[in-house]
Structure formats: C-alpha cells, structure tokens
C-alpha cells in the first residue's frame, strides 16, 4: 500500500512540475516577442523622406438611379419568386418597390 501511495504522489508531482514549466515557457513568449521587435528596430535605420503631398478633393460621382427601371423589375421579380417559393401568394400587382439603396458595408464589417 505504501508503494502505491508513493507512486501516486511521485506521478502527480512530476505532472504538476511539467505543467508549471510549460506555463513558464508560455509566459516567456511575450518577452521574446518584445526582444525580437527591439532588435528589428535597431537594425532598421529610420529614413525620413520629405515629399510634398498635393491634396486633391475627392470627387464624388452621383449616379442617377431614378430611371433604372430594369433594376427595379429584376428586384421585384426576385422578391416575387422568393415569396412564391415560401408559399406566400403574391398578386402580380401587389408588390411595390418604393426605394432602392446600396448598402456599402458587408455583414462581416457590421459584426
């Protein structure tokens, strides 16, 4: 019985010692990264270039979408097909597209 208890204590001690060493090594990673960055900064000489930057006002191009009937027809047909595939009866004159606006952000940018 004493041998079994001694084996258990020795095994657990070795496991915790190894886990403690691994934790210490992982903790040193942030210091190693800072050391590498400092060495890279010493190797790179800082070059300052003096260039004149000419600023031009950004040109905004306005697009007239009021007469884009083909786009409205395609969007209306897509909505009608979607509603019909879900089993919602939609009369032919029951859909009205009142406004179309472009969304610049993707869903990944909104998250």
Residue ranges per structural domain of the chain? 1-43, 69-102
pLDDT in the model for residue 47 = 67
Q: What is the pTM of this model?
A: 0.33
Phi and psi at residue 39, to the nearest 5°: -65, -35
Task: Judge whether 80 and 95 are in contact, CB under 8 Å.
Answer: yes
pLDDT in the model for residue 64 = 63
Task: Judge whether 109 and 84 are in contact, CB under 8 Å.
Answer: no
pLDDT tens digits, 82-100: 888 888 887 767 777 677 7
pLDDT in the model for residue 7 = 95
Average model confidence (pLDDT) for the chain? Answer: 80
């Amino acid at each position: 019985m004493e041998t079994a208890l001694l084996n258990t204590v020795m095994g657990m001690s070795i496991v915790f010692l190894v886990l403690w060493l691994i934790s210490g090594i992982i903790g040193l990673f942030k210091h190693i990264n800072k050391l590498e960055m400092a060495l890279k900064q010493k190797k790179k000489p800082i070059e300052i270039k003096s260039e004149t930057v000419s600023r031009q006002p950004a040109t905004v191009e306005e697009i007239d979408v009021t007469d884009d009937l083909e786009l409205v027809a395609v969007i209306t047909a897509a909505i009608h097909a979607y509603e019909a595939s879900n089993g919602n009866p939609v009369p032919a004159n029951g859909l009205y597209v009142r406004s179309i606006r472009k969304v610049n952000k993707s869903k990944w940018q909104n998250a």
